[in-house]
Structure 1
Amino acid sequence: MSTDPVSGPDGPTGPSDGPVAVVGAGLAGCLLATLLGRRGIEVTVYERRPDPRIAGAERGRSINLAVSARGLAALEQVGLRDHALKRALPMHGRMVHPLGAPENFQHYSADGARAINSISRAELNQALLDTAEATPGVRLRFAQKVTGVDAERGLLLLDGPDGPVTEPAAVVLACDGAYSALRRAVLPPGAFERGQDFLEHGYKELTVPARDGGFALDPDALHIWPRGSSMMIALPNLDRSFTCTLFWPKDDFAALDTAEAVTTHFRRHYPDVADLMPELTTDFARNPVGSLVTVRSWPWVRHGAGAVVGLVGDAAHAIVPFFGQGANCAFEDCIEIDRCLEESGGQWARALSLYQERRKANTDAIAEMALDNFVEMRDRVSSPVYRATHAVQHALERRLPGRYTSRYELVSFSTMPYAEIPARIRRQNRALAGAVLGAGLIAGLGAFAGRAALRARGRR
């Protein structure tokens, strides 16, 4: 079976009429279904889990979201921006907890006014589910496990309670996460799935509960305990608790196999927070260890005779969570698909081809930046050299507004395409280096001229 689109005068063509299936009712799936429904497109959303609004979120796997400019811009398109901000807590910087040294606060923005927003993944998902469900033309179906798609016959393959079943689908949009069941459906025949890189680190969630009715830690910060090869972070919640996430080498989790070992380890390595976690040993034993994977899949789109299939969000490009951009990036995918549908006059094959062409470089760029930020968070943030560099960057941003902007500001507080950010940073650094060199040269020439003048006066 060919994966190439059928060519038309304006680019790829293919099945554009017929049932549209969104696989996965997570953040991206719900946002995309809502955007499509508002275009008058009939959409069915298939979700393998029971309705999380009834069954609750999966334990220990939430990783609180840090919603920033890109995510807020997307949520505004479906009327949820203000709702999200009302249910979020702004974090204006990092509170770094070095071992054996005082904590220190590092603003995210040069003016100290900008913030990323801590919000419960489960709560935002519920709001998006409600919005999708209220959108005419959108139907949600839970406990429906999609196992694959036959793009040639236009059939969605499901594992039903009575065995395998099929349902017609002319367009299939896979929003089913990093371990997507549909990713192989877009590969050429006989090709192997590639582009999945796992960190040696895993993650586990813990909790710092409210203390005497208030926050036990500063709620205006994302807290980081950098420990070289590992770290812990904590994000505030509206109930005045903090969701903590350990990022450790997986062997380290296995080594702490008793409650006493867990308590001893935390008192040694996280002494300022260990006593704030009364359920530490219980949470450590009960909550699973999650994996951290980067997915660089390609292609994202398959044009079959009966259906066009596209990968969206983590199904196409999962990234590690260390820049807080996973959901923000997936939301941008949804907005891009909506934009491409508008530009292509509703031709799905053309729209999805445009979408993957425009987004691939951006998602590769943020994947690399997220991996680099892991090293920054666990190793660099407690270094005096890093803190001095951070202060200089903010001073330059205040002195040269619009001409010098840090990478963090461009990623978190702008919607500049991710792929343009590294080049922007290189250009401004070259310009800055040139200015410094020029200033030094001018100063040197001035000094030389001054000395020459003195010598001339001496000869006279």
Structure 2
Amino acid sequence: MAETVEETETEKEAISIVGAGPVGALLALMLAKKGYQIDLFESRPDSRKTNIYQGKSINFALSERGWLALETLGIANEIREQAIPMYCRVMHDLEGNLTKQAYGKDNQAIWSVSRSGINEQLISYAEKSELINIHFSHRLTQLNFNDNTAVYLDSNNQVVTHQSDLVFGADGAFSKVRRLMQELPKQRISYSLDYMPQSYIELSIAANDDGSHKLEKNALHIWPRKDFMLIALPNLDGSFTCTLFMDQTGDISFDALKEHSSVNAFFNQYFPDAVSLLENPVEAFLAKAASPLCLVHIYPWLVNDQVALIGDSAHAMVPFYGQGMNCGFEDCRILSDLVDTTQGKWPLVLQEYQRSRKPNCDAITELAQRNFVEMSDLAGNANFLLRKKIEAKFHQQHPSLWVPLYSMVTFSPNIPYSKALAVGDIQNEIMDQIMQTPDIENIWQDDAIYSAMYELALTKLG
């Protein structure tokens, strides 16, 4: 019997994963758990030994789709120890007034995690696996898509050649694997990389002297200013990681704000209650180059049923729905499940992975782009907040008929993103009609409102 097991193990495909970010590391762990030999290549040095992440990342908001993927490996609880639950949004208006909006019900939360922190945890798990070899400082330069032979340059600029049965490109929004796919002469690949008008920089709020947080700890803080916004996510050490999103060009933009006096005036005018909390905001603003936000669309994701894209390399999105990493983790979980259901027949695995994930990833990319308006403008709008109250009350009355869009995306991992988008658009039409009711702000709790809403929902959603 032992000989049979050993023979089966040797027949498993050897797999290379290009990119050891959170998605690449998670994929390596999932496939190694199934007995596959994994070589994980990362162009950067080991972040546990160098400070490559400083000032270059946005904290992640880990939600149910991400947790479900981590639970399949049995590591969710350990990751959770390094995360902070955020139960609500706290909106800061120009006068410093605060408005809270719960993310869900029954203490549902999204979780603030450090990008570098979760990446390093996953890398450390991978390092313990006998089936995973991690190669840091290996930059992909060539890939033969016929036999999957890859050429890398190591930290000494020495050429390293590696051949495998399957290759996954998990190397991010500016994926080298994807670019090499696009250069293939006989492949018909549709591709777009679109830059958003907004860019971003990271700022920070330090902890109090006693290590406590200067703002409410279990919340995502937003300073919505219509065309730009500041957000803050809590860290375990009492600090907040803050991100300023703003147009790259224009009257109020990163390009326009270049002088100390104008930057100082900008912060004092638009974020007066945050100025005293932020660590040297003017100096930090002037010292940093704004990073772009981009959207990636590509199809197909596969070449020869042997090379596949996953995570941001296949569907980079903007961070305004907090689903980038969650979606990438869901990619890994779906692909892992397909390995089981097809008994490891990789052409079937990859074809079904592409077929099922492409429309869902397109849907969340669209939703994420739309959500900038909600976060930067509508989140502080009284009419919008009333709309959300009506939705929440109706959901309580008819939980199976109406699940708010945010809950479908964030707390309902078994609802595909594409279904959430389609249902959300219908809900939006219904709410537009309800909000046109005369004097809605004063009669929104009347039974007649919810009777009308029920009839509309039953007709359009039932």
TM range (shorter): 0.7 to 0.9
CA contact (8 A) 2:231 2:243 kept: yes
CA pair 211-341 structure 1, distance change in 2 beyond 3 A: same
Cα distance per residue 1:309-339 (max 9 Å; x no partner): 0000000001100000000000011111111
CA distance, structure 2, for counterparts of residue 274 and residue 101 of structure 1: 11
Query: What is the match of residue 441 of structure 2?
Result: none
Query: What is the match of residue 142 of structure 1?
Result: 136
Letter in 2 for 1:168: Q
Q: 2:164 aligns with which of 146, 169, 191?
A: 169
Cα distance per residue 1:29-50 (max 9 Å; x no partner): 0000011111111000000011
Letter in 1 for 2:294: V
Query: What is the match of residue 315 of structure 2?
Result: 317
Tell me, what secondary structure is at the counterpart of 1:206? strand
CA contact (8 A) 1:60 1:288 kept: no
CA contact (8 A) 1:201 1:247 kept: yes
1:131 maps to 2:125: yes
CA distance, structure 2, for counterparts of residue 176 and residue 392 of structure 1: 42
Letter in 2 for 1:115: A
1:212 maps to 2:209: yes
Letter in 2 for 1:379: D
CA distance, structure 2, for counterparts of residue 50 and residue 335 of structure 1: 27
Q: How many residue pairs are counted as aligned between the two chains?
A: 423
CA distance, structure 2, for counterparts of residue 62 and residue 438 of structure 1: 43
Query: What is the match of residue 102 of structure 2?
Result: 107
Query: What is the match of residue 196 of structure 1?
Result: 193
Cα distance per residue 1:83-129 (max 9 Å; x no partner): 122111111111111223622111111x3511100011111111100
Query: What is the match of residue 56 of structure 2?
Result: 61
CA distance, structure 2, for counterparts of residue 393 and residue 291 of structure 1: 34
CA RMSD of aligned residues (A): 2.4
Query: What is the match of residue 276 of structure 1?
Result: 277
Cα distance per residue 1:363-394 (max 9 Å; x no partner): 00000110111111111111110010011111
CA distance, structure 2, for counterparts of residue 440 and residue 72 of structure 1: 37
Cα distance per residue 1:127-171 (max 9 Å; x no partner): 100111112211101000012311113311212434544321221
Tell me, what secondary structure is at the counterpart of 2:333? helix
1:262 maps to 2:263: yes
CA pair 263-340 structure 1, distance change in 2 beyond 3 A: same
Letter in 2 for 1:167: H
Letter in 2 for 1:420: K
TM-score normalised by structure 2 residue count: 0.86
Tell me, what secondary structure is at the counterpart of 2:255? helix
Within 5 Å, which residues of 2 pair with 1:388-407?
388-407=386-405
Tell me how far 1:423 sits from its aligned partner: 2.9
Name which of structure 1's ranges 349-358 and 338-347 shifts more when overlaid on structure 2.
Answer: 338-347
CA contact (8 A) 1:65 1:324 kept: yes
CA contact (8 A) 2:89 2:220 kept: yes
Tell me how far 1:207 sits from its aligned partner: 0.4
Letter in 2 for 1:279: N
Query: What is the match of residue 348 of structure 1?
Result: 346
CA contact (8 A) 1:59 1:287 kept: no
CA distance, structure 1, for counterparts of residue 157 and residue 382 of structure 2: 62
Unaligned runs of 5+ in 2: 1-10, 435-446, 456-462
Query: What is the match of residue 420 of structure 1?
Result: 419
Cα distance per residue 1:335-363 (max 9 Å; x no partner): 11111111222122221111001100100
Query: What is the match of residue 7 of structure 1?
Result: none
Query: What is the match of residue 98 of structure 1?
Result: 93
Query: What is the match of residue 9 of structure 1?
Result: none
Tell me how far 1:285 sits from its aligned partner: 2.9
Unaligned runs of 5+ in 1: 1-15, 444-460
Query: What is the match of residue 372 of structure 1?
Result: 370
Within 5 Å, which residues of 2 pair with 1:242-257?
242-251=240-249, 252-257=253-258
Cα distance per residue 1:168-187 (max 9 Å; x no partner): 12211000000000103434
CA distance, structure 2, for counterparts of residue 430 and residue 290 of structure 1: 35
Tell me, what secondary structure is at the counterpart of 1:53? coil
CA distance, structure 1, for counterparts of residue 42 and residue 52 of structure 2: 14
Query: What is the match of residue 23 of structure 2?
Result: 28
CA contact (8 A) 1:17 1:170 kept: no
Tell me, what secondary structure is at the counterpart of 2:423? helix
CA contact (8 A) 2:79 2:118 kept: yes
Q: 2:148 aligns with which of 145, 151, 154?
A: 154
CA contact (8 A) 2:113 2:235 kept: yes
Tell me how far 1:69 sits from its aligned partner: 0.4
Query: What is the match of residue 292 of structure 2?
Result: 291
CA distance, structure 1, for counterparts of residue 294 and residue 225 of structure 2: 21
CA distance, structure 1, for counterparts of residue 408 and residue 15 of structure 2: 35
